[in-house]
Amino acid sequence: RWEPPDWREQLERIREMRRSRDAPVDEMGVQKCYDSSAPPQVMRYQVLLALMLSSQTKDQVTSAAMLRLRRRGLTVDSVLHMDEDTLGQIIYPVGFWRNKVKYIKQTTAILKQKYGGDIPSTVEELMQLPGVGPKMAHLAMHIAWDSVAGIAVDTHVHRISNRLKWVKKETKSPEETRVALEDWLPRDLWKEINWLLVGFGQQTCLPVNPRCSQCLNQDICPAAKRL
């Protein structure tokens, strides 16, 4: 069975670099955005909403928008009773906020009608909700249901997996990367890999001008030698 040559050592060094847990994702990521004292059903809804807001949006902006929503009592019913203009004003300036207002209203109505106000507990059903993609669905399973159905791959995980050659051949999309990673990465690492690589991508393995000189993997990273 194929696996990347140095992956265990690369992973261990990334864990070392992430030890202080001080990246934006650690302090303001979706797992920090919901009210952990809320009833489980409300908590899960808040996780899903934070994920919907987080798409193509910095963690700091998502976190601030969630805080404003939560101040108004963030539940399925409160969002259903809110008009679109008000919702837009609260979540602005998250990326594509106008689209997200529509998706949030549509998805919340579906949750109320079809799931009794809770969120679905399978990746397939989550992905049928307006505005919910594969990465969000897998993260919702991890965070809201504490269930690992697959690897959550965003742009950071996609980029770094390709740089480290953790994919047999170059992948063109996060979804392609997810399939490639799940093919060889041991299942007990599937949950950890997202937050590890996202924080690493925010702090060290940046999209442009990665900080290779500060990276512990400099000597065993296929991309570092070319940069």
CATH fold of the domain at 7-21+151-226: Endonuclease Iii, domain 2 (1.10.1670)
Nearest of 135, 136, 155 to residue 207 by alpha carbon: 155
Residues of the chain with CATH 1.10.1670.10: 7-21+151-226
Domain at 33-145: CATH architecture: Orthogonal Bundle (1.10)
Residues of the chain with CATH 1.10.340.30: 33-145
Q: Which residue type sits at 226?
A: R
* N-term to C-term CA, the chain: 30
Nearest of 91, 226, 103 to residue 165 by alpha carbon: 226
pLDDT of residue 225: 63
Tokens of 20: 């202080």
Average pLDDT over residues 77-87: 98
pLDDT of residue 213: 93
Q: Which residue type sits at 6?
A: D
Type and span of the H or E element at 67 = helix 59-71
Q: What is the pLDDT of residues 145-198, one digit of tens each?
A: 999 999 999 999 999 999 999 999 999 999 999 999 999 999 999 999 999 999
Q: Record the pTM.
A: 0.95
Burial class (CB in 10 A: 0-12, 13-18, 19+), 37: exposed
Checking if the pLDDT of 20 tops 60, the result is yes
**Three-class HEC string of 92-161:** CCCCCHHHHHHHHHHHHHHHHHHHCCCCCCCHHHHHCCCCCCHHHHHHHHHHHHCCCCCCCCCHHHHHHH
Q: What is the pLDDT of residues 39-72, one digit of tens each?
A: 999 999 999 999 999 999 999 999 999 999 999 9
Residues 6+ positions from 12 with CB-CB distance below 8 Å: none
pLDDT of residue 51: 98
Residues marked as catalytic: 135
- Separation of alpha carbons 6 and 180, rounded Å: 17
pLDDT of residue 115: 98
**Core vs surface per residue 187-218: b (16+ CB within 10 A) or e:** eeebbebbbbbbbbbbbbbeeeebebeebbbe
Q: What is the mean pLDDT of the chain?
A: 97
Checking if the pLDDT of 226 tops 60, the result is no
Nearest of 53, 67, 48 to residue 145 by alpha carbon: 48
- Separation of alpha carbons 165 and 122, rounded Å: 30
Residue whose structure tokens are 């159905």: 149
